[in-house]
Amino acid sequence: MRLQLYLTADELLPFDHLSVLKGAFHRWLGHDDDLHDGLSLYSLSWLRGGQGSRGGLRFRDGAHWSISAHDPRIIHALVSGVVREAGLGQGLRVRDARLLSPPPFQDGEQWFRVLSPVFVKYLAPEAKLGAAADHFTYENLRTDELLTQTLRRKLCQAGLDDTGAAVRFDRDYVGAKTKLFRYKQVQCRASQCPVIVTGTAEQIRFAWCVGVGDSTGLGCGALE
């Protein structure tokens, strides 16, 4: 299920604002230990509708924000949280909200645009303690294997069959590019590139809800 939020933005929003979105998400949900354990079975998009200017983003016509989750109870809890507190911080405030059901997917392959760049990180098993993970982009063929591994782990965590599920970048897409973003002073390189999810209708629907790649709970890898 997906919660589509329409926001007003009264202030210049800093480029480095993902922590504001994540903070609002967790305030609305309230304290939930189960939600923080294991992989994120939900995904947050980036804000849409902004224009870059010196020092940040301006949303003259408002912003769109998508939050999706495998468990519909998360979405319903978010709605209750928005009713209690419509403000996110940094001049952002919810003015309208809509609930969206997953599209009627079919078995096979499904092409998706991304609502936020896909982040893939890899730390070799032999890496020393404290070593930084490598950030892989669509240009590296190894990313398809890592994307597939992450989706299958999430399927297993949700108690679903992971057999045959796979994810790969659409490297034939002409507009594919990499995107540098920062989260809490850490610079990350991600891919603004469509993906193709292969699997059963249930597995594809699951990917639409939870996103692909790493850090979907921070705003990466949300699917349109």
C-alpha span between 216 and 118 (Å, rounded): 8
Residue with token string 């092409």? 111
CB 221 within 8 Å of CB 116: yes
Q: Which domains does the chain have, with CATH numbers?
A: 2-100 (3.30.70.1890), 108-218 (3.30.70.1900)
Question: How much is the pLDDT for 155?
Answer: 97
Per-residue pLDDT band for 81 (boundaries 50, 70, 90) equals very high
Rounded to two decimals, the pTM is 0.93
User: Which range has the worst mean pLDDT, 38-52, 63-77, 209-223?
Assistant: 38-52
Question: How much is the pLDDT for 37?
Answer: 57
- Give the tens place of pLDDT for each residue, 49-77: 988 878 889 999 999 999 999 999 999 99
- Give the tens place of pLDDT for each residue, 102-133: 999 999 999 999 999 999 988 777 666 666 77
Q: Which of 222, 109, 223, 118 is nearest to 176 (CA)?
A: 118
C-alpha span between 59 and 130 (Å, rounded): 39
Q: Which of 122, 128, 69 is nearest to 99 (CA)?
A: 69
C-alpha span between 222 and 12 (Å, rounded): 24
Q: Which residues are within 8 A (CB) of 22 and not within 5 positions of it... i.e. 6 or more apart?
A: 44, 217, 218, 219
The tokens for 47 are 């804000």
Question: How much is the pLDDT for 70?
Answer: 96
Question: HEC profile for the chain?
Answer: CEEEEEEEECCCECCCCHHHHHHHHHHHHCCCHHHHCCCCCEEECCCECCEEECCEEECCCCEEEEEEECCHHHHHHHHHHHHHCCEEECCEEEEEEEEECCCCCCCEEEEECECCCEEEEECCCCCCCCCCCEEECCCCCHHHHHHHHHHHHHHHHCCCCCCCCEEEECCCCCCCEEEEEEECCEEEEEEECCEEEEECHHHHHHHHHHCCCECHHHCCCCEC
